[in-house]
């Protein structure tokens, strides 16, 4: 797909289940999600992304270190419905051992730029569970600002946005 200074972002495939489970089975990495995920849910996640690639030319991409190919997380653009309106979200979720290195910000910035320049999207959002301060900081670092608070799946969710 594309690269940043330190990362290679590529499409997810059926062989990424074990990579995803490094995040999905970690209760600390998943603390802002309703729960951890099973291997079956990881397979569904992969299928959802494959469908997004096919239908929308977007999805979450696997993030690997360029220096050694190590899996560090996932980041990309996914379609979402917010208050009955279609939006395109920059989402990111990284392996805990790689937190605090700026990798999520680097990948999110590259995803933002891809959305604006390659896809011609006029606007992008991030949907962040209210207590998730690290994700708020990533959104702010890539130029997003707080837009509103809303309920999504009965959870207080902050919407951050940026326009081209």
Q: What is the mean pLDDT of each run of 10 residues along the chain (164 residues)?
A: 94 96 95 92 96 94 97 97 93 96 97 96 96 96 97 91 96
Of 138, 120, 130, 119, the residue nearest 73 (C-alpha)? 138
What was the pLDDT predicted at 33? 87
* Residue whose C-alpha is closest to residue 116's, from 86, 143, 136: 143
Whole-number pLDDT of residue 146? 98
The first and second tokens of residue 41, run together, are 């849910």
Burial tier of 84 (Cβ tally within 10 Å: 0-12, 13-18, 19+): exposed
Phi, psi of 70 (to 5 degrees): -65, 135
How much is the pLDDT for 110?
Answer: 97
DSSP one-letter string for 116-154: IIIS--SEEEEEEETT-HHHHHHHHHTT-EEEEEEEETT
> Looking at residue 153, what is its pLDDT?
83
With CA atoms as reference, report the closest residue to 136 among 116, 156, 164: 156
The CA distance from 105 to 113, in Å, is: 12
């Amino acid at each position: 797909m594309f690269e940043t200074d330190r990362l290679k972002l590529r499409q997810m495939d059926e062989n990424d289940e074990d990579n995803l489970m490094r995040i999905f089975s970690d209760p600390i990495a998943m603390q802002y999600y309703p729960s951890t995920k099973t291997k079956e849910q990881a397979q569904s996640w992969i299928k959802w992304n494959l469908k997004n690639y096919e239908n929308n030319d977007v999805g979450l991409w696997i993030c690997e270190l360029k220096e050694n190919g190590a899996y560090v997380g996932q980041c990309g653009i996914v379609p979402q419905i917010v208050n009955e309106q279609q939006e395109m979200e920059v989402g990111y979720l990284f392996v805990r051992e790689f937190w605090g290195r700026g990798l999520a910000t680097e990948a999110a910035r590259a995803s933002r730029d891809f959305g604006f320049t390659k896809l011609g999207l006029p606007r992008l959002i991030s949907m962040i569970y209210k207590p998730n301060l690290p994700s708020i900081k990533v959104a702010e670092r890539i130029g997003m600002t707080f837009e509103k608070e809303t309920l999504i799946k009965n959870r207080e969710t902050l919407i951050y946005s940026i326009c081209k």
